[in-house]
Amino acid sequence: MNWSDEGYVLSVRRHGEAAAIVNLLTRAHGRHAGLVRGGAGRRLRGVLQPGNQVAATWRARLAEHLGAFTIEAMRDHSAALLSDGDRLAGLTSAAAVTEAALPEREPHLAIHDGFAALLGALDGEPAWAAVYVRFELGLLAELGFGLDLRHCAATGSSDDLAYVSPRSARAVSRGAGEAYKDKLLPLPAFLLPGATEILTTADVLNGLKLTGYFLESQLFAPHNRPLPAARSRLLERISRTGKSSDGTLME
């Protein structure tokens, strides 16, 4: 059994003295693990970093075996972010959430392409944090837990949407939700169609709390697993910045 594909490194775990077990997010084969001989060595250490794009060939005697990867570097995303702790935390979190959420060997092209779009945003887009939140929304939708943010669950209107119901995963207008707002999740304006407002840290945090709630309740809690630690660190880091995603100070 063998195939060749391109993908992104999600995680690397040392195996023995010099080998490593590597998880990739591949285009046609989904999240897929394999043994990389020499993966813990100097030659491949820089290649096998979360977020890096690689060309991989997988070989195994039987389809159900772990198999082995032969890896070639395509694009180094992680090195470009080493000087920006926030963006690096976003990359690390996205890789950890993707690995933990996806079933192994099940293709999800939309998630692969969304991950690629996020990497592009991390590479220089000022509003990268908004792209990160949208990536998690897309991941939820692809796995069958999409949020309906188009109309109010109570009135059917698309005007003045301000909350999300944790029970129905649907938007709620400000008027309809006012009496229950303590039980609802804030809906940041940047997730609404045609949003043009300046993105603030509060918006980003509300977005991360929104997607985090549904990731935890729908994907992780049913399997008695918490959100990945890297995701929690991203939330904590952005909470401490006190800046908008374009670097300007919040009022």
* Backbone phi, psi, residue 55, to 5°: -100, 130
pLDDT in tens, the chain (251 residues): 899 999 999 999 999 989 999 999 999 999 999 999 999 998 899 999 999 999 999 999 999 999 999 999 999 999 989 999 999 999 999 999 999 999 999 999 999 999 999 999 999 899 999 999 999 999 999 999 999 999 999 999 999 999 999 999 999 999 999 999 999 999 999 998 777 667 889 999 999 999 999 999 999 999 999 999 999 999 999 998 765 444 443 43
- In this prediction, residue 245 carries a pLDDT of 46
Long-range CB contact pairs, 205-208, < 8 A, 24+: 205/235, 205/238, 205/239, 207/129, 207/130, 207/133, 208/132, 208/133, 208/136, 208/234, 208/235, 208/238
- In this prediction, residue 248 carries a pLDDT of 42
Q: How far is residue 238's CA from residue 249's CA, in Å, rounded to a whole number? A: 13
Q: Do domains 2-76 and 81-149+187-241 have the same CATH topology?
A: no
Per-residue pLDDT tens over the stretch 225-244: 999 999 999 999 999 876 54
- In this prediction, residue 168 carries a pLDDT of 96
Residue pair 151/171 in contact (Cβ under 8 Å)? The answer is yes
- In this prediction, residue 247 carries a pLDDT of 44
Chain centroid to CA 244: 20
Q: Which sequence spans correspond to the domains of the chain?
A: 2-76, 81-149+187-241
Per-residue pLDDT tens over the stretch 170-205: 999 999 999 999 999 999 999 987 776 678 899 999
CATH fold label, 2-76: OB fold (Dihydrolipoamide Acetyltransferase, E2P) (2.40.50)
- In this prediction, residue 227 carries a pLDDT of 97
Class of domain 81-149+187-241: mainly alpha
| Secondary-structure percent of the chain, ordered helix, strand, coil, rounded to 5 | 40, 25, 35
